[in-house]
Chain A
Amino acid sequence: MKQFQGQTLSWETRDGIIELALHREPLNEIGSLTLEELEKFVAVLPDLSRDTHALIIYSSLKAGFCAGADLRQLYSWIQEYGQAEVANHARAYLKRIHAVMNALDSLPLTTIAAVHGVTFGGGFELALTCDLILADKLARFCFPELRLGLIPSFGGIPRLKRDLGNAVVRDLLLTGRSFNANKAQQIGLVSQIAGEGEVLRAARATAMQLGKFDLVTAAAAKRFIKPIPLDELRQEIDIFCELLPRPAVFSGLKKFVESTDAQPYLP
């Protein structure tokens, strides 16, 4: 069994399945350390893929799958680099994020996101790189970026467009509202809903089933049906970096970071 234990995530292989567990308290916010460890993971994936047929990404934190990008880090960048320079720094960071997301998206193995609780922003974007999303019945999905004067920047918009109708994408992006697993399944985003606390079990059962099929055929089918929208992904970075240096974004982030509000996850 191959395994790695990091500060924000860990992985192991078992029964021909790679399991990537996110565990950065409080809610797997994706910052520089998570990105470094994801890059390490992606670097070893070709080796791990040799003896495996599926990848499951899940969170071992009770609170949820992932709340998104580390907004405190983003706010600190604005303070450190200033509004004039922060976009350059963000662009370099986003290129690295996209490299990881694109690698996961195009992996020859079948990939499963087993999500529970909050699956917001960058966390939602991570789930969207996977071929299948299985959700705990209490999972909630959201792109809240507009609340901060931003758009998703980890590749979520092109991937959402790839998977869903434009009207649904507009609803999610422009209202910034969260929606539950039932709704997610109705619109075609989520393949299966599991009972509370059961999504990892369901994901493992699905992954075991995938092991019965010829891997070369499965990889060919996946390449055929799952294009990577590279041009739009680059465009998403451009739009985000244009929006980032604006005063409205800075004040939105400041408000979030300094808030003692009991309700940061509500709009």
Chain B
Amino acid sequence: MPASEKTLDEIMDLASAHFKVPREKLSPDEDFFKALGIDSLQTLDLLTKLENHFRVELPDYELQGVSDFRTLAEKIQARL
């Protein structure tokens, strides 16, 4: 399911705020591990933040192979 721009924006806003990376440095299709400078432990923090914000439960195995914000947003959107 394609992600709404609103979902995508909210995800990047959250990621920017949590990992203190300027919002303008994040773009939907780039590798968020590199853009945010995070490892898998911190990805779990991001997942928790997103689950709490969107009030969804997103099994972590759905993140397999996901490395860009747009695809992440699609996964979240599919649970809304």
Contact = CB atoms under 8 A, between A and B. Distances in A.
A220 interface: no
Contact of B61 (A140, A261, A267): A267
Interface residues of A, number: 25
A118 B51 contact: no
Contacts of A267: 60-61, 64
A265 B61 contact: no
B40 A177 contact: no
A118 B51 CA distance: 16
Interface string A163-182: 00000000000011111111
Nearest to B39: A262
Contact of B33 (A138, A262, A264): A262
A239 interface: no
Interface in A209-257: none
Given A180-B48, A180-B51, A265 B41 contact: yes
B80 to A, nearest CB: 16
A31 B57 CA distance: 32
Interface in A91-121: 117-118
Contacts of B40: 261-266
Contacts of A266: 40, 43-44, 60, 63-64
Contacts of B48: 137-138, 140, 180-181
Contacts, number: 57
Nearest to A27: B41
A118 B41 contact: yes
B75 interface: no
B54 to A, nearest CB: 12
Contact of A182 (B33, B51, B64): B51
Contacts of B49: 138
A117 B52 contact: no
Contacts of A178: 44, 60
Contacts of B44: 117-118, 140, 178, 265-266
A63 interface: yes
Interface of A: 27, 63-64, 117-118, 137-138, 140, 142, 175-183, 261-267
Interface of B: 33, 39-41, 43-45, 47-49, 51-52, 57, 59-61, 63-64
- In the A-B complex, the 4 residue pairs with the closest CB atoms: A263-B40, A265-B40, A267-B61, A177-B59
